[in-house]
Structure 1
Amino acid sequence: MTTLDGREVYTRRDLMDRYGMSLSPLEKWHRNRSLTGHPEAVGTVGRELVWDREEWDRWYQERGDTRDLESRADLAARHGLARGTLDRMWSLREENGHPEPVKTVQQTTYWDADEWDAWYADYRRRAQRTELDVDRSGDPEDLVTLSQAARILGVEPTSITHYPKNPPRNWPQPAVEEELPSGRMRRRYRRADIWHYADTRTIAGPRRRFPPRGTDPVPGREPSSDHRTPAEEPGQ
């Protein structure tokens, strides 16, 4: 057993021998310790970092404990949701307030079941209120700008400016599209098509055409993916 100043410690070699694991996950847990909670090293023996034996064993045991926690598969089965719906809600967490995971074990992410249920109940209530805000007045064949489409849907115009380039599921193609001398695009949509989108959109939110770049399997935020859309002509 390795010791440091009379204290029992682990080197990575000790951990590999004791737990039969490879070097890669040990390095990754330590590198991402701000997310994994991995203990800090207590010093070095030779050139190797070492960790307090009792502290590391306790952390490792707690890390594998998933009682009262649920994975995406558990949440999908209990709530009758598709995995894709759960993935979209998670990808839009900055907008919808989706809870952060409690831990990741063997690349499976877990959430506190009570916290997730409370968030999802509120999420559904907010989605239902949004549906009530849809403006059903006007001629179905009217052509409307993107800003007018936002008002029909009962949302802020800025919340859908990226739709033409990064469309959510069932977002309509514009009925009229022309390039202005400035290089910006003018798009107009049939009012009936906007109503159809309102009737078929899901509470999961927009479906991203491409997954976020640089996704890290360790729980925490992925590097953001910039999907900015060039500004449209005022009033579009």
Structure 2
Amino acid sequence: MTTSDGREVYTRRDLMTKYGMSLSALEEWYRNRRWTGHPEAAGTAGLELVWDAAEWDHWYQERQNTTGLVTRADLEERHGLARSTLERLWALREENGHPAPVKTHDRVMYWDHDEWEAWYGEHKKRTQRRELQVDRSGNPDDLLTLAGAARVLGVTPVSIAHYPKRMPRGWPQPVQEEQLPSGRLRRWYRRADIWTYSETRTAAGPHRKHPSRKPRSEDTTDHTPD
């Protein structure tokens, strides 16, 4: 055991010997200590960094302890959710308030199950309230203008007027386009496609908007609600 100022410390070589760890793993944990919580170095022994042995052992034991914590795989099994849905919920955490992981161990995130379950219950209530606003009546093959699609979704036409230009994830392609005398385009959507979008929208909350395929200067969409 290496000592420094009368106390026991670890060099990386000590840790490799005691715990059978690779040098690359130890270096990565320390390099990413902002996220891993790895203790700060206590000084040096020659040219090597050293860490307080008691502090390091305590950190490592806590890191290994996952009691009461769940991974995405656990959440898939317990809640019947698809991996892609869980990944989308996490990707949209700034909008939906998804809780942060308690720890990340070997690139796997762990969440407090009670905290996650409470959050998910509230999230489902919010998305179900949005879903109740969707108008499910009518022929699925009906063609709707943008204003008609807004009525189906239970939102104001102005709130989705930018969709043809900045398409949210899951927004359908139009099935028909009409050239107006002004030179602008009016797009028509299948009612069934709007219903499908509403299900995508409520699965993980509002999606980030993405640029349309056409440059802004080429957009000739009629954004006037019909």
Smaller-chain TM-score range? Answer: 0.7 to 0.9
2:62 matched residue in structure 1: 62
- Number of residue pairs aligned between Structure 1 and Structure 2: 213
The structure with the largest alpha-carbon Rg is 2
Structure with greater helix percent:
2
8 Å CA contact 1:144, 1:191 repeated in 2: no
Residues 91 and 185 from structure 1, CA distance in 2 versus in 1: closer, same or farther, beyond 3 angstroms? farther
Matched, 1:201 2:203: no
8 Å CA contact 2:71, 2:108 repeated in 1: yes
Aligned CA RMSD, in angstroms, stands at 3.4
1:18 matched residue in structure 2: 18
Residues 20 and 152 from structure 1, CA distance in 2 versus in 1: closer, same or farther, beyond 3 angstroms? same
8 Å CA contact 1:71, 1:108 repeated in 2: yes
Q: Tell me the secondary structure at the aligned position of residue 21 of structure 1.
A: coil
Q: Tell me the secondary structure at the aligned position of residue 9 of structure 2.
A: strand
Matches within 5 A, 1:29-68: 29-68=29-68
Matches within 5 A, 1:90-101: 90-101=90-101
Taking only the aligned residue pairs, the percentage that are identical comes to 59
Residues 151 and 27 from structure 1, CA distance in 2 versus in 1: closer, same or farther, beyond 3 angstroms? farther
Unaligned runs of 5+ in 2: none
Amino acid at match of 2:127: A
Residues 179 and 142 from structure 1, CA distance in 2 versus in 1: closer, same or farther, beyond 3 angstroms? closer
TM-score scaled to structure 2, two decimals? Answer: 0.77
Matched, 1:106 2:132: no
TM-score scaled to structure 1, two decimals? Answer: 0.75
- State how far apart, in whole Å, the 1-side matches of 2:85 and 2:67 are: 24
- State how far apart, in whole Å, the 2-side matches of 1:127 and 1:94 are: 16
Unaligned runs of 5+ in 1: 209-224
1:167 matched residue in structure 2: 169
Matches within 5 A, 1:152-231: 152-154=152-154, 157=159, 161=163, 167-168=169-170, 171-177=171-177, 187-198=187-198, 200-201=199-200, 203-205=202-204, 227-229=210-212
Amino acid at match of 1:201: T
Q: Tell me the secondary structure at the aligned position of residue 201 of structure 1.
A: helix
